[in-house]
Every structure is written in C-alpha cells, then in structure tokens.
Structure 1
Amino acid sequence: MTHQEILKKVEWKDLKSLSFKEMLIENNLTIPWFVISMVLSYFGYYLLALPFSAFFFLTALRQVHNGFHNSLGTNKFLTWFTLYSNSILLMVSIHAVKFNHIRHHKYCLSDEDYEGKSARMTWYGAILYGPVHMFLIHKITLQLGNKNYIKNVVLELLSIAIVTFFIFNFNVHFLIYHILIMVFAEFLMAFFAVWTVHHDTEESPEYARTQRKDWKNKITFSMFYHLEHHLFPAVPTIKLPELARRIDNVFPDIEKKQTF
C-alpha cells in the first residue's frame, strides 16, 4: 500500500491539535529532569545525576522534534524560543538539526538525506560516526540553508560558545558536568536517533521501525513510534500511541519492524 492510501484510510487530522493540558506537558516535560540532574550534580552526585540527565536529553529531543513540525501548540515566536533555548541546553544548533530533519523527511535515506546516512552503517559504525554526524549537519545547513536558517545557526552557535566560555572560565562544576554529558549524548545521536529507527529499511524508507511494547514506550517517552511519525509527521508525540492504535485497526498486517 502507498503512503497516500494510508493517509486516506486512517483518521489522523483530529490528532494534530493539543488540549491545554497536553500543550503544557509537551512544553514543560524537560523541567523536572533538568532540575533534578542539576541539583544532584551541584552536590557532586554525578552518577546519580546521570539517568536524570539522560531523561532530560530525551525529553528535550522530543520537545524540539515537535517544534520542528510545529506541533508544540505554541505560536511562532515561542516555538522558535524553544528551539533556541534548547540549543544552549543541548550544546548543538537545533535549527541545524531541524534543517536536516526536514530534509530527512523529504529525501528519506536517499543521497540527499544527510541526517539518515548512518542508517546504512553497522551499529558500531553509527556510534563511531557520531561526531562526524554532528559536524556534518551544521556544515550542510550553512551550505544549503536559507538566510533565516543560517542566521539562527550562527546565533545559536555564538550563544553556545559564550555560555560555555563563562561556565569553564568560572569553573561552574555542575554545569561543566552538564556540558560534557550533553556533548557525549549528541555524539550518540547518529546511532540512537537514526540507526535504531531506520536500519535495514532502505527498500521502503517511509516504513521506519517502531516500538509496540508499552513499557518500552513509557521509558523512551514515545520517541520510538517512528513508523507512525514518518507516515504522519504533523501528529504531536503525545498523540502517537493513539495514532498507532488507529493504524493497527485499519492496517493490522502492515509490517512493523521493532527498534529494540
């Protein structure tokens, strides 16, 4: 079946809108994890802070990912501010990530899809490729992006550089911890955000991998409903479990390759 056939037969447009409660959740999901990780690292409990830092990174990724597709339920400026502020917190230009992610949807797993390059690698190759991946998405955005993208990328990189300089200059130990963990996490993005959901799907790129185990989706904040996301990118993450149920009801035999 084609993508267009699925779009026509699955009810999904009502899932695009967020209630006020859902909007609050999507826009504030990162806060408790960030606060707890900062408090623990402030007092020197770095090992205890690690899982909370990991959950912060994952929820921030969910937040900006919704922002890429204008699915946060906020206006244009607030969506931009979410991307900008998370650039500083995540130590990467989120507008560079956005530029390549939108291209990823348009050119999925083709030669023009720079975000998706690690999908064709081995799992360990994708891990080793991580630092190159992070450099490449910035380089490609500065080369191919329009003036607005370039302006935002430069602003975000300058802001990251200034904040990082002051943190290291004044030796703010818990923020240094945060920077190091975020950079390490960014280097794993080619594996976790690309390879896990797209490897061995080159023949039908639109049918990305997905996850159907409830407990796995809970601990990953629904970020591995990737088949559903690629078929219906405008649907916010919080609505993906319902979207998955609707797809299963209409197309029970559709192939669902698991992420992990």
Structure 2
Amino acid sequence: MMTHAEIVKKVEWKDLKNLSAREMLIENNLTIPWVLLSWLLAYNGYYILALPFSAFFFLTGLRQVHNGFHNSLGTNKFLTWFTLYSNSILMIVSIHAVKFNHIRHHKYCLTEDDYEGKSARMSWYGAILYGPVHMFLIHKITLQLGDKKYVGNLVAELISISVFLFLVFYFDVHFLIYHIIVMIFGEFLMAFFAVWTVHHDTHESPELARTQRSKWKNKITFSMFYHLEHHLFPGVPTIKLPELAKRIDQALPDIQKKQTF
C-alpha cells in the first residue's frame, strides 16, 4: 500500500488551493441564509419548520470553520480569526478549542494523542453517548496543552458565549433560546457525525478516512463527507473537494474508498 507522501505525488492538487472571488464569497457567506431562515421561522413560532434550516446552518458553520482551521477561506488572518470567533458564539462552543484538537487530529490521527478521534473506536451508539464528554474534553485538552494564543482565544470565546447566553435568557428571546438548544444538541452529536462516521474501522490505515461518492448525498451534506480527500490534502478548500475526488479516482483508481453512509 502506498504511503501518504507517495499518494500526494501522484495527484495534481496545488492549483485547487486557490479560490476565485466567487468561491471565496460562497465559502465565507454560506451560513448566512440558513441562520436567517431558521431565526425567521423560529421568531414566528414555527420551530419544527425551522429545524432543518438550523441543521443546515450547523453543517455549513462546520464547513466554514473547518476551512478556517486550514487557512482555506481565502481571507486574511484577522477575517479568518473573526470567522472562528463569531461562529463560536453562534454555535455555542469555543471554535479555537475545536481547531486545536483538529490540528492534533491530523498530526496524531487515531493514536492515543488524538483526543478528537477517540470516538472512532466506539460503537455508533457509544459515540453518540460520548458526545457531551467529547465537547468537555476538547476544551480541557486545549487549556492543558494549548499555547497562550489558543488558551486566550478559548477564554475570550467562552466569555463571549456566556454573555450571549445571559442576555438571551435574561431578556427571554424565544427564537434565540430555541437556537441555543438546537446548537448544543448539535455539538453533543459531533463525536458521532464528525468523527465516528468518517473514521470508524479505519485504524489500520488512518490516513485513508472514509468518503462519500453519492452526488445527492454530497449536495445535502455540503461536501463535508469527502473525508478521505481532506485527510490526504487538508489544504484544499471544501468547495474544491469534488474536483479533487475526481483526480484521485483517475490517478489512483484502486485506492481504498470506504463509504461514510
């Protein structure tokens, strides 16, 4: 079996790192319509109708910050930082804590030092039950192992989240209370959706994560399950992963491609 370095040499990918103005606008604004639609429906009391839009906001928020982790949004350092900070408040989690553990995940993939990847060894229901522990652990590990910059960002984000929560509940803003509850529920499912689905039963070759080749499934999940492609080429923005998948299939037709779902 080829090594990661050998695979990288066989696939043309560096041109995919560059975003056009249109692609940059999409990646940096993808969350906006979903959060506005979910808030509009929740504000008018249509909470059930708001749920799928809230789910799409959560998913596109993950896509946006994930690109930010790998400096793939096409923006400068401050705007990338602001994307992570603002999504921390909206998604009710320190995104810099998620980033710290995600970068370690790429470095120590599925080893004992990969705290993000721990649920990959569990059963599917074990990963769901582990969700709240996962969210606590990534904050704890960042505080213990992160440098001053990571810890400073984590503290700033947690303070900002606390202020947001206080204001929303103090003024009894119902549609934002709904939003907060849904986001916390989404965070508790991260160990399952963001880790287990893409990494279970891949420990023999951790760099060969699972992937998704169904076009309609990739459309409704905003290309977030091209995980094999992401682990092999983490610098490629999500919007370019369908093209990267085609190139991998052409250059390496026999490479292992376990499906996510």
Query: What is the distance in 2 between the residues matched to 1:9 and 1:163?
Result: 48
Aligned pair count reads 260
Query: What is the distance in 2 between the residues matched to 1:124 and 1:53?
Result: 23
What's the TM-score once normalised by structure 1's chain length?
Answer: 1.00
Corresponding position of 1:20: 21
Corresponding position of 2:210: 209
Corresponding position of 1:87: 88
SS of residue paired to 2:209? coil
Corresponding position of 1:183: 184
Matched, 1:50 2:65: no
Instruction: Kindly state the Cα deviation for residue 47 of structure 1 after the two structures are TM-superposed.
Output: 0.0
Corresponding position of 1:256: 257
For residues 178-212 of structure 1, give each alpha carbon's deviation from its aligned partner in whole angstroms, at most 9, with x where no partner exists: 00000000000000000000000000000000000
Query: What is the distance in 1 between the residues matched to 2:182 and 2:216?
Result: 25
Q: Where in structure 2 are the equivalents of 1:1-260 lying within 5 Å?
A: 1-260=2-261
Query: What is the distance in 1 between the residues matched to 2:118 and 2:10?
Result: 31
Residue ranges of structure 1 left out of the alignment (5+ in a row) = none
SS of residue paired to 2:250? helix
What is the Cα-based RMSD across aligned positions, in Å? 0.3
Query: What is the distance in 1 between the residues matched to 2:97 and 2:103?
Result: 10
Instruction: Kindly state the Cα deviation for residue 24 of structure 1 after the two structures are TM-superposed.
Output: 0.1
Q: Which moved more, 1:1-10 or 1:102-111?
A: 1-10
Query: What is the distance in 2 between the residues matched to 1:51 and 1:256?
Result: 29
Query: What is the distance in 1 between the residues matched to 2:139 and 2:174?
Result: 28
Instruction: Kindly state the Cα deviation for residue 28 of structure 1 after the two structures are TM-superposed.
Output: 0.3
Residue ranges of structure 2 left out of the alignment (5+ in a row) = none
Query: What is the distance in 2 between the residues matched to 1:224 and 1:202?
Result: 18
For residues 202-227 of structure 1, give each alpha carbon's deviation from its aligned partner in whole angstroms, at most 9, with x where no partner exists: 00000000000000000000000000
Query: What is the distance in 2 between the residues matched to 1:229 and 1:46?
Result: 34
SS of residue paired to 1:108? coil
The one-letter amino acid of 1:107's match is Y
For residues 83-134 of structure 1, give each alpha carbon's deviation from its aligned partner in whole angstroms, at most 9, with x where no partner exists: 0000000000000000000000000000000000000000000000000000
For residues 152-172 of structure 1, give each alpha carbon's deviation from its aligned partner in whole angstroms, at most 9, with x where no partner exists: 000000000011001001100
